[in-house]
Amino acid sequence: MTRPARRAAVAALSVTTAFALTACAGTSGSGGNTATKVDVSTTIPNDPVTLTLAYTNDPPTKALIDGFTQKHPNVTIKPQMTPFNDYIKSIKLAMSGDAAPDIAQYNPGAMNSLVPAGLILDLSPWSKAYGWTTKFPPASLEVLSSDKSAKQFGTGSLYAVPGGLSVLGVFYNKKIVKEAPKTLADFEAAMQKAKDAGQTPLSNGALQVGGFHLWNALLNVTGDVNDYRSWVYGKPGATIENPAALKATQTLTDWAKKGYISSGASATADPDALASFAKGKSAFLITGNWGASALETEMKDDVGFFLMPTPSGEPAKVASGASVAYAISSKSKNPNVAAAFLDYLSSPEAAKIEFEGGFMPVDTKAELGATGLRGDIASAFAPVAQGNGIVPFPDFASPGMIDKLTPGIQGLISGKMAPDAFLKSLQESWDGHHGS
Amino acid sequence: MARDLSPAVSPPRAAQARGGGRVTDGPAPPPRRPGRRARGWLYVLPAVAVYLGFAIWPALNTLRLSLLTWDGILPAEWAGLSNYVKIFRDSQLYEAILHSLALIIFFSVIPIGVGLLMTALLMGKVRRGMTFFRIVFFLPQVLPLVAVGITWRWLYSESGVVNQFLDLVGLGSITRAWLGDYGLALVALGLIGTWVMSGLCMMLFLAGAQKIDPSLYEAARLDGAGAFRQFRHVTVPGVRREITVAGVITTISALASFDLVFVTTNGGPAGQTNVPGLLVYRLAFNEGDIGGASALAVVLTVIVVAVVSAVRYFTRDDES
C-alpha cells in the first residue's frame, strides 16, 4: 500500500465510523407521543380535508374509500398500496416517519412494534362516542384490542376496527360429493368414498398456510373455544398442550395416514391447491372465503361451502377468520375524520362493498341477497359471527408461530413428527414470546 | 470530466505518468504530481462511494446490529453477545448449516464435474453450433431464480413433468411429490441448483480452455496421449484458475442460498431444507428480531469466508 492509499483508507474508515454513529441515532427509536390531547368528535368539519391511507388488501379498501368520499365530498383520501410481502416492513417505517399515513391497514406483525411505540391511536374514546361495540361484531374487535405492549390481545385498548371479515371453511365439489357432510364422521366417510373412487379427497397447500388452516379448522370443532382464545390472545398461563388440541392433531395425522391428505401437500402452495380443486381434481378444499370468487368463476354452480362439521353434528359455533382492519396514526392531524371513516365501515352501504370485495360484511345482519356459493358462505358465517364465534388463526399467537406451524404440519403429514411433539414446539414459541 | 479524461489517456501523457520519457518535443510542463493524484482519487470516488455505501457500511452496520436487541421501531438496547449465544443454542442452525454444506455438492461439485465434461466434449470439436450450446447452457443463469424455483416446483409436483417421465419409462412405482418427500427434498432441491450452475461452470471452462496453446495438444498427441490424457494433463491444468473461480462462486451461492429455497420448499418438509439464509429472513421479518437476524447473518458470513478460503487453498496454483 502506498502512502496516499493508506491515508485514503484511514479517511474511508473515519467516514464509515461517522456513518455508524449517525445510525446509532437511527436505531434509538422514535418514541411516539401518546400524550397528545384529541378532542373527540363524531362530526367532521366542512372544510376540505386530505387523509392518506396505507393498505395492502384490495378489494375492499379502494371501494370503501370511494364510498366514504362520495358521502363526504370535502374529504379526500389518498390510497397508498404496498404488496403484502413488503407491507410489514414498509408500514413500520412509514408510521414512524414524519409523513406518517393517517390511516393504516392493521397488521398484527407490525402492530407488535407500532402499538408499544405509541404510534397508533387508542380508539377507545371514539368507540364510546360512536357505540362501536354494538356496531361491530364483538369478536372482531377483541382481536384488535391489546395491552400497551401488544402482547396480550382481547384486553386493554382498541387499536383498529375491521372493514371486512373472512372465515375458514370447507369447499366441496358438487360433482363428486352430492351433499355437504353433517358430522365429522360423515366428512371422513365422504373423503374415504372419494379415495375409493380414485379421486384425491382433499387438496391442501401445506407448503404455505393450508396445512395449519386444516389443523385449525379441526381444532375449532374438537376444542373448547375459550381455551383456544386464551392461548391465541396470549393470556398468561394458557397452553396449547391440551387434550382437545391433541385430538385435533391426532385426527390430522390419521387423515394423512389414511391418504386423505397426500404427502405431496407439503410441496403444494395454496394457490396450486386451489387451482387443482377448481379443475375438479379433488373433492374438498379447506381454505377461507377469500378463495370464493376464483372458485365461482371456475366451477360455476358445482361448488359449495360448509364449516368444518362438529363430531356431534350440531351446527359449528366456532370458525377461524381474519379481518381487513384499519388503525389511525397518532401523528394524524385529523383523527376525527379518520375515525369517521372507521365508523363508515360498519354502515349498511359499506356492507355491500365489503361483500362484493369477497369479504363478509362487518354488519353481520346486513341483507345480502346472495345465492349459490356466496349464499352458502353467508348463511354459514352469519350465526357464527353473531354468536361471537370468530377466532383468530393460530399464527396470531406469537410472531414466530408460523415458522413452527408450517413445518410442524409437514412433519405430521409425513409421519416424522408425533402429535405431542408438534404441540410442544408450538408452546415453546408461545412461551418464548409471552413467558411461560 | 469527460474532457479531462481524453488527454489523460492520450499516449504522451500516459507515458509520462508511468515515469517514462517524453515522446513529443517542446517545453516540459511543470510537474503536477499532487494534483494528478487528487484527480485520480476523484475518478475513483464514485466507485468508492458506492462500495462504501452499499457494501462496507451495511456490513459494519450488521455487525453493530448483531450486538443489539432491536425490533426495528422501539429504541434498541445493548445486548452484548447474547444474540450469538441464543443462535448457537438453537439446534435448527446446525441442521441448516449441514443442509447448506450438502448443497455444496449439488451447487458446486457436480456442476464443476459436468462443466469439465462438457468442456472436454465441446473443446475443439463443435465449431458451428457453439453459440447455440452456450446460450442453451447459460440460460439458467439469465432467468430470475424465483421464476426458476416456481417452475421446478411444478415440474416436481405429483402430476408434474418429472413424474410423467418416470411413468413413461416404467418407473411409476417411485413417483412422488419430490419436494414434499421427507428424505429426498434436499436432493431434489440440490438438483435444481445443479441445473442452474452447470451452465455457468461450462461457460467459464470453455472460455479458459480457448486460451490454451494448441501446440500443447499437438505435443501431447505426438507423445501418444489419447483424448482422456490430453484432457487430464492439458485441459484441466489449463483451466485451473477458472475452476477456482467457479468453485468460489458456486460455493457462495450454495451457502448463501435463499431465493431458490424460499420459493420451492420454504425450508420444508418439516425443516428438511432449512438453510441459514432462510432463518435470517424469518428472524428479521417474521419475528422482528433484527439483532438475532444480524448475528446469524454475521455467523453465515464467517462460514462463507471460511469455506471459500478452504476452496481457494485446495485449488491454489502450486507454481505461484
Helix (H) or strand (E) holding A168: strand A168-173
Taking residues A239-249, what's their average pLDDT? Answer: 94
User: Which residues have a Cβ under 8 Å from the Cβ of B30 and sit 6 or more positions away?
Assistant: none
Grid cell digits, residue B143: 432467468
Closest CB from B37, B182, B266 relative to A414: B182
Average pLDDT value over all residues in chain A: 85
Instruction: Note the ipTM here.
Output: 0.76
Higher-confidence residue of A88 and B27: namely A88
Q: Which residues of B touch A109 (CB under 8 A)?
A: 286, 288
User: How much is the pLDDT for A23?
Assistant: 41
- Say whether pLDDT at A284 is over 90: yes
Does the pLDDT value for residue B6 go beyond 60?
no
Identity of residue A313: G
- Whether A148 has a pLDDT exceeding 80, the answer reads yes
Decide if A276 contacts A199 (C-beta within 8 A). no
CA angle A199, B264, B156 (to 5 degrees): 45
For chain A, helix (H) and strand (E) counts, in that order, are: 18, 13
Contacts of A69 (CB under 8 A, 6+ apart): A75, A76, A77
Q: DSSP labels for A199-221?
A: -EEEE--TTTTHHHHHHHHHHHH
CB A124 within 8 Å of CB A136: no
Nearest one of B233, B209, B246 to B130, comparing CA atoms: B209
The predicted structure's pLDDT at residue A436? 64
pLDDT value of residue B22 = 45
Residue from B73, B153, B266, B289 to probe the interface with A (highest A Cβ count within 10 Å) = B73
Spatial CA neighbour of A330 closest among A29, A20, A122: A122
Three-state DSSP at B261 gives helix
Contacts of B79 in chain A (CB under 8 A): none
In this prediction, residues A199-211 reach a mean pLDDT of 90
Task: Please judge whether A400 and B282 are an interchain contact, meaning their C-beta atoms are less than 8 angstroms apart.
Answer: yes
Separation of alpha carbons A85 and A37, rounded Å: 35
Per-residue pLDDT, averaged over B166-178, amounts to 86
Q: Is A399's CB within 8 Å of B288's CB?
A: yes
Q: Which of A22, A82, A31 is nearest to A52 (CA)?
A: A82
B73/A29 CB distance under 8 A = yes
What pLDDT, on the 0 to 100 scale, is given for residue A1? 39
A349 contacts A275 by C-beta, under 8 angstroms: no
With cut-offs at 50, 70 and 90, classify the pLDDT of residue B26: low
pLDDT digits (tens, 9 = 90+) for B177-227: 888 888 889 999 999 999 999 989 988 998 888 888 888 888 988 988 888
* Span B109-143, pLDDT tens digits: 999 999 999 888 877 665 677 778 778 888 888 88
Query: Residue B99 above 50 pLDDT?
Result: yes
CB-closest option in B267, B270, B288 to A414: B270
More confident residue, A242 or B174: A242
